[in-house]
Amino acid sequence: MTLVHRRLSFFVPAAVLLTGVLAWGLAGMPSFGLPHSDYARYITAHAAGQRHVSNIVSSVVFDYRGWDTAGEELMMFAAVMGTALLLRDDRDDRDEERRRPTDATTSDAVRTVRAGAVALTLLVGLWTVAFGYLTPGGGFQGGVVAASAALLTWVGGSYRRLRAVTPTTMVDATEGLAAVGFLAVGLLGLVAAGSYLQNVLPLGTPGTLTSTGTIAVLNAATGLEIAAAFVLIFREFLEEHVETLPAREEP
Amino acid sequence: MSVYPYLVAGVLFVAGLYGVVTSRSYVHLGLCLTVTQSSTYVALVSVGYLRNGQAPITQGKTPGKPFVDPIVQAMTLTDVVVSVAVLALVLSLALLAHRTHGTADPDRMRQMKG
Amino acid sequence: MDALVPLVVVVPLVLAALLATVSRWLPRGVPDAVGIAGAVTVTVMSLVLLQATRGDPLVSWFGGWHPVHGLPVGIAFVVDPMAASMATLAGLLVSASLVFSWRYFEEVGHLYHSLVLVFLAGMVGFSLSADLFNIFVWLELMSVAAYALCGYQIHEASVVQGAVNFAIINSLGTFTMLMGVAMVYASTGQLNLAAIGHHLAEHGSDSAVAVGFALLTVGFLVKGGAVPFHFWLSDAYAVAAAPVGALFAGVMSDLAFHTFARVYWDGFAAGFSAEAHVAVRALLLAVAVVTMVVGAVMCWLQSDLKRQVAFLTVSHGGIFLAGIALLSPLGLAGATLYVVADGVLKAALFLSFAVVILRLGSSDELRLHGRGRSVVTPGLLFVTAALGLSAAPPLGTFLASAMIYDSPGFGWLPPVIAVSAAVTAAAVLRAAGRIYLGWGVVEDPLRSSGRPGRRHEGEPDEGADLGLAVRTWLLAPAFVLVAIGFGLAFVPGIAGEAVAEAHAAQDGPAREALVLHGTPPPAPRPTGYKASGTAWGYGLGTAAGSVLLAGAALRRRPARRPLRPVLAGARALRRVHDGAVGDYAVWLTAGAGVIGAVWALTLR
């Protein structure tokens, strides 16, 4: 028996048991579609009034359960730092410049489409972030979309172009400062009202961009941080890929 | 069926585990972890659904229909970020494995024994 | 005082983010100093919280969201001395680890200190949080930082495998926990632990809660390294760089046991019937005993110093779990005190091993046979730590293990604990004897690992002459930790306090009233605690046993070949720990299935 077969002969009974257990438990949950949570009912009834917000999920993410989001922000930050720590130290950045990998797109059609696509994606991303507390969207969602504009730059252009528009220093700094910004807004709540992450900014008129107090600020900080984090991750992995490409000869 | 979505979650969970057990590449393994985690997304979001409900957005809402649970949606959002963080690290480690050992096959890397 | 609670987590996070942004321009030494300052600040703040919350737990709601008519709307941290002691332990060990790593790494990546601070923040948040999903978030933060720190020396294949096994199995554990959270939330509609407890007390539990609780437990057990979820632990701890390994062994996995106890007592105990309590206790005790024994046996069978500490951690984790599983105040108090004293000593052990490995160039006790003449001081340190770990009375860990021994019922448990503690300590003493005194044989069929000792990048060269200043610097943290580990038992009244706090922690209704309605709990009854004569007997027996066992293993005369069944059994056990993550995942599935099935049937 091969290794995998032997392993499967143990796994299958265990998996059957676990599936049975899960099914038993899941079948005992309240019926799909029925209300089950006083907590949810409270939030849906009061969030719009208490925080002048239209997107109730954003109020949960950045206000009621903002402390979870703080942990999550920093988790993204840690993941990016971890990726950089693991992959970056080994490389010598100067080699990149000399190697000049041959991955530039030569087709004019692709480059034209890329220009439009990058602009459009970036715009959609920023819009999703900006209106995140009014309509579906938010810092996380919009940040990822904006970061994918960076990927499009590489796909439709070349790695050197991507590197040129996303200098490591700037992206690193943005990411760190956005994370500090998020935490600092929380400290504002601590200093002004005695509770960390308390919403202490004016709540404004519901439905406008200047409503919801700190939710708007935290949303923006999150969007910035996530966009920077994803750009960094893409760049780290692309650096690894680019190393495998043949280099152009030295001119 | 009133428990069907939950059972889908259960099946996904075990399917991801199957993938981890039989994987021959760390990259594939990272994605199987994502499958296991996606079962939690399905479970969470299904928990929050209300029959005849609408999204918890007050602008443009239909009066009379209840809002679905926004808390599980916030939890799922956090969950997705967790997934990204874990996947980023597993993929980085997979890259390192390939770099140092020439292979990304978990079963070919047998340095730890006993 | 209320302001301190969020700051304990926010300060290291802010420092980490700032450091990561600017550290590429800072000279070597500044990030280290900032990191140490941050960790020391966390330690001091946690100690202040520990003192301030004696008899009077502090509930801190984030975002200003206090409960509305008993319905919690925001996230709370509940700080009592037991939770604060975990936070203090984390802060203390991170401080020691950062001091050590200042001189240990010749060159360190500029993100290392940030990651360590984030790791610290995650550990503190994990210990203090009283909201089920929030606990998950801090657990994941802690884990993500740990995966990266574990993989931190980039060039050796074994490092990567250990780190990736860690990442995969630990993640599977946390995803299992999240599935459990989803099921519990579905049934109870609450995420705050006290609110869950309130709901369960009113409506009773159902199959979703039972399976959800089982999955939560599996998640905590994976993190804590209980059998059969422990395989990642030995791989990861053996490859992590020394300062990181000290953190892992000293505090990371043990926190899971403490948080599990909080989740159980605040959230579930009130809703479970008496039969359910028995079911919980029985299953957890079974897991604990298997963990203790397997950990001890594997520890004995290792010749690699770091893997010995890894399996020692597994085995002692079983002891902590046993204390918690007893579901009694003495057990809980004993387990908590044990975690602190044991954690400090394990970290000291890891750090002293690191110095030995650094100076002599190998981590295999067989290869280091007799070469210890030039590294006496670390050896003294780790022998002392080992004696402390063997719970020799009247030192730090003895008091804790005595509390577990004295917990009523289950008379068969103390001997198992005593033997496990003795065997694990004996393994370390045996290593000391072999390295320093040159006793014992060089080839050992039961034990030769066949793996050459590995060094790590960024560390000084083999046998480098380190200079007195560097050597003192490297050994100072271990020295301080050993002193603390030993001295803990002499803090006046610590045992009595621990028992009183454990009583309070297990008082579900009072805790619920405090968290949901702000009602201060009744003043704790002052209890003193003196270890019984039986406990003294066990303690002395363990200490003596570990020395004798180590001596027996080091006989000059070549030992007779062990009996064939013993040899076969040992080989089989070692083969199971084969480094293949697919096998580990099978064990995880099986363990989760069994625990889930047992509790699905018995928890009502």
What average pLDDT does range A63-87 have in this prediction?
Answer: 92
Query: Is B111:B29 a contact under the CB 8 Å cutoff?
Result: no
Q: How many CB atoms lie within 10 A of CB C572?
A: 9
The pLDDT assigned to C137 comes to 96
Give phi and psi for C88, each to the nearest 5.
Answer: -65, -45
Torsion, CA A168, CA B31, CA A25, CA C258, rounded to 10:
-50
The answer to whether residue B56 neighbours chain A at the CB level (below 8 Å) is yes
Instruction: Please give the Cα distance from C373 to C444 (Å, whole number).
Output: 22
Confidence of residue C456 (pLDDT cuts 50, 70, 90): very low
* Residues C104 and C243 sit within 8 Å (Cβ to Cβ): yes
Please state the rounded mean pLDDT for residues C437-450: 60
pLDDT of residue A78: 93
Residues of C (295-314) whose Cβ lies below 8 Å from B = 301-302
Q: pLDDT digit string (tens) for A14-67?
A: 999 999 999 989 888 888 888 888 888 898 888 888 888 888 999 999 999 999
Q: Which of A7, A85, A196 sits opposite C152 (nearest CB)?
A: A85
B103: domain CATH number is 1.10.287.3510
Residue A34: burial class (beta carbons within 10 Å; 0-12, 13-18, 19+): exposed
Query: Which of C167-171, C367-371, C414-418, C480-484 shows the lowest per-residue confidence on average (mean pLDDT)?
Result: C367-371
What is the residue whose two structure tokens read 């690699």? C304
| pLDDT value at C532 more than 90 | no
pLDDT for C461: 42
Query: Is B109 in Cβ contact with C161 (below 8 Å)?
Result: yes
pLDDT of residue B33: 94
B11–A19 CB contact, under 8 Å: yes
Average pLDDT of the residues in C124-131: 95
Q: Report which of residues A205 and C590 the model is more confident about.
A: C590
Question: Is B20 within the bounds of a domain?
Answer: yes
pLDDT of residue C224: 92
Instruction: Kindly state whether residue B89 falls inside one of the protein's structural domains.
Output: yes
CA distance C141 to chain B (A): 8
What distance in Å separates the CA atoms of residue C445 and residue C366, rounded to the nearest whole number?
Answer: 11
Q: Which of A17, A74, A86 is opposite residue C597, by nearest beta carbon?
A: A17
Please state the separation of Cα C196 from the chain's center in Å: 27
Reported ipTM: the value is 0.94
Mean pLDDT, residues C133-155? 89
- In the three-class reduction of DSSP (H, G, I as helix; E, B as strand; rest coil), residue C192 is classed as strand
pLDDT higher for C347 or C271? C347
For residue B114, what pLDDT is reported? 44
Q: Give the pLDDT band of residue B80 (cuts 50, 70, 90).
A: very high
Cα–Cα distance, B46 to C327 (Å, whole number): 35
Neighbouring CB atoms inside 10 A of C351's CB total 33
Contact map slice: C 442-471 vs B, CB within 8 A: 449-451
Q: In whole angstroms, what is the distance from residue C367 CA to residue C364 CA? A: 5
pLDDT of residue C455: 42
Beta-bridge partner residues of C502: none
Rounded CA-CA distance C592/C229 in Å is: 9
Closest by CA position to C515, among listed C46, C115, C109, C74: C74
Nearest to residue C66, comparing CAs of A85, A194, A19?
Answer: A194
Q: How many domains does chain B have?
A: 1
Give SS3 for B67. strand
B16 in a structural domain: yes
φ, ψ for residue C27 (rounded to 5)?
A: -70, 160
C133 vs B contacts (CB less than 8 Å): 75, 78
Buried b (16+ CB within 10 A) or exposed e, C144-153: bbbbbbbbbb
Contact status, residue C60 vs residue C5, Cβ threshold 8 Å: yes
* CB proximity B43 to A under 8 Å: yes
Question: What is the CB-side half-sphere exposure of residue C473 using CA atoms within 13 A?
Answer: 13
Taking only residues 58 to 117 of chain A, the set having a beta carbon closer than 8 angstroms to any beta carbon of chain B reads: 59-61, 65, 68-69, 72, 75-76, 78-80, 82-83, 86-87, 90
Question: Could you read off the pLDDT of A213-229 as tens digits, one per residue?
Answer: 889 999 999 999 999 99
Reference B22, options A109, A10, C106, C554; nearest CA is A10
Low-confidence winner among A195-204, C416-425, C464-473, C574-583 (lowest mean pLDDT): C464-473
- Give the other-Cβ count within 10 Å of C330's Cβ: 23
Are residues A175 and A225 in contact, defined by beta-carbon separation less than 8 angstroms?
A: yes
- Average pLDDT (C500-507) is 86
What is the reported pLDDT for A89?
60
Torsion of CA C190, C196, C198, C201, to 10 degrees: 130
C485 band by pLDDT with thresholds 50, 70 and 90: confident
Q: What is the mean pLDDT of residues C124-135?
A: 95
Phi then psi dihedrals of residue A113, to 5 deg: -60, -40
Whether the per-residue pLDDT at B104 is higher than 90: the answer is no
pLDDT exceeds 80 at position A105:
no
Instruction: For residue B110, name the pLDDT band (cuts at 50, 70, 90).
Output: low
DSSP element (H, E) containing C487: helix C468-487
Express each pLDDT in C375-421 by its tens digit: 777 778 888 888 888 777 777 688 888 888 888 778 888 888 888 88
What lies within 8 Å, CB to CB, of A138 at 6+ separation is A55, A57, A58, A61, A128, A129, A132, A219, A222, A223, B77
pLDDT band for position C183 (cuts 50, 70, 90): very high
DSSP C411: T
Q: How many CB atoms lie within 10 A of CB A209?
A: 12
- Provide the CB-side half-sphere exposure for A107 (13 A, CA): 6
Between residues C91 and C507, which one has the greater pLDDT? C91
The predicted model gives C496-505 an average pLDDT of 86
- What pLDDT is attached to residue C452? 39
Q: What is the largest CA-CA distance in chain B?
A: 65
- pTM recorded for the entire structure: 0.94
Q: By C-alpha distance, which of C191, C42, C232, C175 is closest to A39?
A: C191
List the structure tokens of C10. Answer: 């926010």
Q: Hey, are the CB atoms on A79 and B86 less than 8 Å from each other?
A: yes
Bigger pLDDT: C340 or C303? Answer: C340
Give the span between the Cα atoms of C480 and C294, in whole angstroms: 31
Residue C460 pLDDT > 80: no
Contact A197, C63 (CB under 8 A): yes
Q: Among candidates C183, C184, C541, C286, which has minimal Cα distance to C390? A: C541
pLDDT at A241 over 70: yes
* Residue the block writes with tokens 């969020």: C6
Distance between CA atoms of residues A186 and A208, nearest Å = 23
Please name the residue that has the structure tokens 């597993």.
B90
What span, in angstroms and rounded, lies between the C-alpha atoms of A110 and A121?
Answer: 16
Average pLDDT, whole number, for chain A? 85
Give B31's contacts in chain C (Cβ within 8 Å). Answer: none
Structure confidence at residue C445 (pLDDT)? 56
Shortest CA gap A61–chain B (Å): 6
**pLDDT value for C449:** 47
Residue B86 sits in which domain range? 4-50+66-108
**pLDDT score at C575:** 81
Domains of chain A by residue range: 54-243
What mean pLDDT value characterizes chain C?
85
Residue from the list A36, A177, A189 with its beta carbon closest to the beta carbon of C189:
A36
**pLDDT at residue B111, as a whole number:** 54
Q: Give the separation between CA A185 and CA A218, rounded to whole angstroms.
A: 7
From CA A143, how far away is CA A129, in angstroms rounded?
A: 7
Least confident of A64-78, B32-46, B61-75, C571-585: C571-585
Distances from the Cα of C122 to the Cαs of A187, B61, B107, C114, C252, in angstroms?
A: 18, 39, 32, 12, 10
At C75, the pLDDT band (50, 70, 90 cuts) reads: very high
How high is the pLDDT of residue B2? 77
Residue C510 binned pLDDT confidence (cut-offs 50, 70, 90): confident
State the smallest CA–CA distance between residue C167 and chain A in angstroms. 12
CB C297 within 8 A of CB C573: yes
With a cut of 60, say whether residue C62 has pLDDT above it. Answer: yes
Task: Give the per-residue pLDDT at C463.
Answer: 57
Average pLDDT score over residue span C55-74: 88
Tens digits of residue pLDDT in B23-57: 888 999 999 999 999 999 999 999 988 888 888 88
Q: Is B11 a member of any domain?
A: yes
Conformational region of residue C225, where left means phi above 0, alpha means psi within -120 to 50, and beta covers everything else? left
Q: How far apart are CA C475 and CA C99, in angstroms?
A: 10
**Two structure tokens written together for B17:** 């585990």
Give the per-residue pLDDT at C458: 42
SS (H, E, C) chain A: CCHHHHHHHHHHHHHHHHHHHHHHHHHCCCCCECCCCHHHHHHHHHHHHHHCCCEHHHHHHHHHCHHHHHHHHHHHHHHHHHHHHHHHCCCCHHHHHHHCECCCCCCHHHHHHHHHHHHHHHHHHHHHHHCCCCCCCCHHHHHHHHHHHHHHHHHHCCHHHHHHHCCHHHHHHHHHHHHHHHHHHHHHHHHHHCCCCCCCCCCCCCCCCCCCCHHHHHHHHHHHHHHHHHHHHHHHHHHHHHHCCCECCCC
Calculate helix-pair angle for A66-88, A168-193, nearest 10 degrees.
150
Angle at which helix C468-487 crosses helix C329-360, to 10 degrees, equals 170
Closest CA–CA distance from residue A87 to any residue of chain B (Å): 7
Tokens describing residue C49? 């919280």
To the nearest whole Å, the CA of B66 is away from the closest chain C CA by 17
Phi (first) and psi of residue C573, to 5 degrees: -60, -40
Distances (CA, A) of A45 to A38, B31, B103: 11, 38, 55
Residue B14 lies in a domain: yes
Spatial distance between the Cα atoms of A216 and A61, rounded to a whole number of angstroms: 11
What is each CA distance from C420 to A25, C300, C340, C545, in whole angstroms? 36, 10, 18, 10
Q: What distance in Å separates the CA atoms of residue C484 and residue C343, rounded to the nearest whole number? A: 11
pLDDT (average), residues B79-91 = 93
Residue holding tokens 């560097």?
Answer: C470
Confidence of residue C464 (pLDDT cuts 50, 70, 90): low
pLDDT of A249 above 80: no
The type of residue at C343 is G
B69: CB partners within 8 A, 6+ apart = A37, A40, A44, B47, B48, B49, B50, B56
